[in-house]
Amino acid sequence: MEENQQKWWHKSVIYQIYPRSFYDSNGDGIGDIQGIILKLDYLEKLGIDVIWLSPVYESPNVDNGYDISDYYSVLSEFGTMQIMNKLLFESGKRGIKIIMDLVVNHTSDQHPWFLEAKKSKDNPYRDYYIWRDPMDGKEPNELKSNFGGSAWEYDELTNQYYIHFYSKQQPDLNWDNAAMRNSIWDMMNFWIDKGISGFRMDVIDLIGKEPDKLIKENGSKLHEYLQDMYRNTFGNNDLLTVGETWGVTTDNAKLYSDPKRKELNMVFQFEHMQLDKVAGKQRWDLRELELVELKHVLSKWQYALDQEGWNSLFWNNHDLPRIVSRWGNDGQYRVESAKMLATLLHGMKGTPYIYQGEEIGMTNAAFTSIDDYIDIETQNIYKERMAAGFDEEEIMKSFYMKARDNARTPMQWSAADHAGFSKGKPWMKINPNYTNINVENALRDSNSIFFHYQKLIKMRKHNNTLVYGTYKLLDSEDTSIYAYERSLGNKKLLIVCNFYQHEKEFYYPMTSPSEVEMVISNYNDSSLNMKNIKLRPYEAIIYEISEGEVGRK
């Protein structure tokens, strides 16, 4: 990549904070912004460059802050605008940037715009949302909410339905309305002026919806709206913008992230995160992951965005189960497999995202009762599936594997009461394994998952091959090893990962005489002889090869 096309976020690693579960500074059981400030030194030690802050705005919390009732103020449980300013200042001092969650596909039903819109058909805010007449006395059409049930909610007062692709307390905004769009630009500029460094855009591929044509994602005006947003808000600022797009393909990812089109820097694609569900079904319909499929999907994305666009790299977020429980091994090989998954991901081309707790190998919640799940999605799906006659044991098993609360249990800071997360009773049950899996233990052990992440993050700062090298998948049909190369000039990185518990031989055909160095491994005594390695359970190694130099270091 040309020098002048290089961007600060190409070399950055982002850390996502889900504030409610990160650190509680005042003992009310709820994580808060002051709590984040108190943990900035920890994040600095990990070495991350950017915090993506999940919503901290005013909200009735039907969907933990993804239902916003005031974009200009901070939820009192989390703090005040003064404390938010202090977070920006204190993180800036440590060289850490903040990007905010931008939730503009919908608002809360308690947002003043919606409270007005509901009043009458001719209210000036009516058209900020999407209303339709009943069809034969029923919902206008078949569109479904992602949280279960119809996407249409009836409003008695005006005898019309409004659309909501999430809970009925999250009415969708009408992006066809220019005044509405301008209100959003003003709000974004308010936050940009405050000194934030970018936005993560919640379900941004839905804003072009065309409900009458049953189109939810990738509507015909989506990219026009994003270009409009670019021009009116962050276009002149060097910010990081990442869109959450469940329905993205490699082709339309280029539309979002090709710099020439002036839209976003990158999107989160979820193709790889949907490989362990039955095709065409919901993610609650489980299936084993096939490693070969994972290799094909991730490689497809690496190849497609090599020249135009940019990838985001992630295994986890606040909606996904913990990766070590999902595709690693959260028993005997928890440490090895967590490091393997980290190595595999951070070796790729793109900007890596770490979700809080991933860096210490936190595991799924392991709740046994439906009452322990707080998430509105889980509660809705439970009712829907029970009513539809699904087997309760099967439903609970799918939650155990996939429920969003798996990622939302409080951060495990120490073996103290409530995992050191809070002095009071936490808002959500803590994973009982906190006595063993916690930050204090991780920092005491130089072989911990934490220090492996620290090393991977540091590598990205100095190793241009890691940032810009071209990706090439090796042994694409091997069912247990994921191996690939990254090349730039005469330098090459070879990333070799045993994805499973059984041992497996790996052969690497070395052509020209080269100098080889091992840059990272999850075993202390990995082999330098990369031509033929017997990989142990979850063994993962990155070699650096300098071609044309004879002899070895």
Query: Which tokens in the block code for residue 380?
Result: 């809705």
Cα–Cα dist 484/527, whole Å: 17
Strand partners, 535: 504
Does the protein bind ligand TEU through residue 103 (CB under 6 A)? yes
Q: How many CA atoms lie within 13 A of 505 on its CB side?
A: 3
Nearer to Ca ion, 144 or 425 (CB): 425
Shortest distance (Å) from residue 68 CB to ligand TEU: 9
* Active-site choice (32, 63, 172, 202): 202
Distance separating alpha carbons of residues 50 and 371, to the nearest angstrom: 35
Q: Which is nearer to Ca ion, 30 or 240 (CB)?
A: 30
At residue 311, the 3 state secondary structure works out as strand
- Give alpha helix (H) positions in 463-503: 464-468
Contacts of residue 541, defined as CB under 8 A and 6 or more positions apart, other chains included, come to: 343, 495, 496, 497, 518, 520, 521, 522, 526, 530, 533
Does 166 engage in binding with ligand TEU (CB under 6 A)?
A: yes
Q: For residues 291-330, which are near ligand TEU according to CB under 6 A?
A: 318-319
Phi-psi region of 149 (alpha: psi -120 to 50; beta: other; left: phi over 0): left
Q: In the set 246, 315, 399, 434, which binds ligand TEU (CB under 6 A)?
A: 246
146 contact choice in ligand TEU, Ca ion, none (CB below 5 to 8 Å, kind-dependent): ligand TEU
- When asked if residue 49 is in the footprint of ligand TEU (CB under 6 A), the reply is no
User: Could you tell me the smallest distance in angstroms from the CB atom of residue 153 to ligand TEU?
Assistant: 15
Q: Strands 50-53 and 97-102, how do they pair?
A: parallel
Q: Is residue 540 a contact point for ligand TEU (CB under 6 A)? A: no
Smallest gap, in angstroms, from Cβ of residue 35 to Ca ion? 7
**Residue 26 touches which of Ca ion, ligand TEU, none (Cβ within 5-8 Å per kind):** Ca ion
- Shortest Cβ 132–ligand TEU spacing (Å): 21
The least CB distance from residue 416 to Ca ion, in Å, is 17
To the query of whether residue 3 is one of the catalytic residues in this protein, the response is no
Q: How far is 536 from 521, CA to CA, in rounded Å?
A: 12
CA dist 62 and 60 (Å) reads 6
Residue 249 touches which member of ligand TEU, Ca ion, none, C-beta under 5-8 Å by kind: none
Cα→Cα distances 342→62, 313, 353, 484, 542, Å: 33, 10, 10, 14, 12
With CB cut-offs between 5 and 8 Å by kind, which of Ca ion, ligand TEU, none does residue 139 bind?
A: none
Contact 366, 28 (CB under 8 A): no
Query: Is 244 among the catalytic positions?
Result: yes
Query: What are the tokens at 6?
Result: 């290089």
* Euclidean distance between CA atoms 117 and 174, whole angstroms: 12
Encoded one letter per residue, x for contact with Ca ion by CB under 5 A and - for no contact, window 5-44 reads -------------------x-x-x-x-x------------
Half-sphere exposure of 298 (CA within 13 A, CB side): 28
DSSP 8-state code for residue 277: B
- The amino acid occupying position 79 is G
Task: Pick one of 15, 18, 22, 66: the residue that binds ligand TEU (CB under 6 A).
Answer: 66
Least distance between Ca ion and beta carbon 37 (Å): 12
Query: Residue 496: what are its φ and ψ, rounded to 5°?
Result: -125, 125
* Residue 263 binding: pick among ligand TEU, Ca ion, none (C-beta 5-8 Å cut-off by kind): none
Chosen from Ca ion, ligand TEU, none, partner binding at 66 (C-beta under 5 to 8 Å by type): ligand TEU
Min dist CB 318 to ligand TEU, Å, is 6
Contact track, ligand TEU, 399-438, x by CB under 6 A: -----x----------------------------------
What Å distances lie between residue 337 and 313, 328, 459, 537, CA to CA?
Answer: 18, 5, 20, 8
Smaller CB separation from Ca ion, 422 or 514: 422
Binders of ligand TEU among 192-221, rule CB under 6 A? 202-203
- The closest residue (CB) to Ca ion is 32
Q: How many residues bind Ca ion (CB under 5 A)?
A: 5
What is the layout of strands, in order, in the sheet containing 14-17? 266-268, 240-244, 198-201, 97-102, 50-53, 14-17, 351-355, 312-313
Coil, strand or helix at 183: helix
CA distances from 472 to 40, 299, 355, 501, 521 (A): 37, 8, 27, 25, 20
Residue 101 interacts, among ligand TEU, Ca ion, none and using kind-specific CB cut-offs from 5 to 8 Å, with none
Nearer to ligand TEU (CB atom), residue 246 or residue 314? 246
Q: Which is nearer to Ca ion, 208 or 426 (CB)?
A: 426
Catalytic residue among 49, 101, 244, 375: 244
- List interacting residues with Ca ion (CB under 5 A): 24, 26, 28, 30, 32
Which residues participate in catalysis according to the annotation?
A: 202, 244
Chain residues that interact with ligand TEU, rule: CB under 6 A: 63, 66, 103, 146, 166, 202-203, 244, 246, 318-319, 377, 404
